[in-house]
Amino acid sequence: MERAITRDGEGAKLLIVLEDMPPAFRDWPKRIPVWLGSAYRAKMANDLSIWIRTGQWPLQTDHIRIRESDVRRWTDLQFEIRRRSWVRHYLTYEFRRRQGV
């Protein structure tokens, strides 16, 4: 997990990029764009098959498992979600500091 806090005209911004996160049902694309390439599609198919067989999303050996609900709980009091998106295999969040905090 990489974190960065910056300031701009709108106040503090927190960026979090998470790897090895299982996609929520709403995150699965209707189709995978061709430009993502066969390696991306193969990895997604492999990860999905592991998830179906084991009930756990694959996790690299040097990573720790963090649930998306934990991230939201940790940030909820001081930050609001401005953007949540997937960039290839990475779940990315942009938060802004809540007013008055």
Q: In the chain, what is the straight-line distance between the N-terminal and C-terminal CA atoms, in Å?
A: 24
DSSP 23-92: PPGGGS-SS--GGGHHHHHHHHHHHHHHHHHHSS----TT-----HHHHHHHHTTTEEEEEEEEETTEEE
What's the confidence (pLDDT) of residue 75? Answer: 92
CA torsion, ordered 69, 80, 32, 90, to nearest 10 deg: -70
**Each residue of 25-83: pLDDT tens digit?**
677 665 556 566 777 778 878 888 888 899 888 888 898 888 889 999 999 999 999 99
Tokens linked to 23: 């996609």
Q: Is the pLDDT of residue 97 over 70?
A: yes
Full-model pTM: 0.66
